[in-house]
Amino acid sequence: MKHCTVLVGFALCMIAPATAAFAAPSKSSGDFEETHAYWSNGKLPATFHLSITISVDGDLMTYRGVNSTDPEHPHIAEWSGKLDGQLYPFDGGYFDHMKLLEVSPNEYLIEKYRDGALVVGEFWNYLPEADKWVRHGVVARAAADGSSKAYIEEFSRVK
C-alpha cells in the first residue's frame, strides 16, 4: 500500500506542473508596440503607431490592437478564436469570418474573410530570443479603398 501511495503521489507531482503549464498563457503573451513596419503600396503613414495585446493560451489566441496613427480617432480591433483551422463567424466590422491555425510552435496563420472571400492572410511569428512578434500579411482586397498590399510589421514587448 505504501508503494502505491508513493507512485500516486509521484504521478500527481508530475501531472500538476504540466497541467499548470497548459493552463497558463505562453511567454509570447503580453503587450507589444510596433517597432518597424513596411507596406508594399508605399502608403504607410509617417505617424503609423500600433500597440497590441496578444495572448496564446492553449488552443486559444486573443488579439487587441489599438491603431493610434490618428490619436484623435484611434481604431481598435479585437478578435479571439480557437487555433484549430476552422472557419468561424466573426463580427468585427471589415470581416465576417476568421480562421486561426497554429502552424508550428510560435507560428500562426490568421485568415480573415468577407462575403466568403479571403481578404487578408497573415503569418504571425513569435521570436522568443528577441521577445517580439513579426507579422507578414497580404491584403487581397482592402476593406476601405479596394487596393491590395503586402506588409511586414514587428512588435517588441512593452517593458
Instruction: Please report whether residue 113 resides in a domain.
Output: yes
Instruction: Please report whether residue 4 resides in a domain.
Output: no
Grid coordinates given for 75: 481604431
Quick one: pLDDT band at residue 142, thresholds 50, 70, 90?
A: low
Q: What is the domain extent for residue 99? A: 26-157
pLDDT value, residue 25: 64
Instruction: Please report whether residue 3 resides in a domain.
Output: no
Instruction: Please report whether residue 37 resides in a domain.
Output: yes
pLDDT value, residue 145: 67
Instruction: Please report whether residue 5 resides in a domain.
Output: no
Neighbours of 83 (CB within 10 A): 19
pLDDT value, residue 140: 86
The pTM of this model reads 0.80
Question: What are 57-99's pLDDT values in tens digits?
Answer: 999 999 999 999 999 999 999 999 999 999 999 887 788 999 9
Structural domains of the chain, count: 1
- Amino acid at the residue 126: Y
Instruction: Please report whether residue 83 resides in a domain.
Output: yes
Question: What are 114-130's pLDDT values in tens digits?
Answer: 889 899 999 999 999 99
Quick one: pLDDT band at residue 134, thresholds 50, 70, 90?
A: very high
Instruction: Please report whether residue 138 resides in a domain.
Output: yes
pLDDT value, residue 100: 97
Q: What is the CATH number of the domain that holds 125?
A: 2.40.128.20
Instruction: Please report whether residue 17 resides in a domain.
Output: no
Q: Which residues contact 111 (CB under 8 A, 6 or more apart)?
A: 98, 99, 100, 118, 120, 121, 122
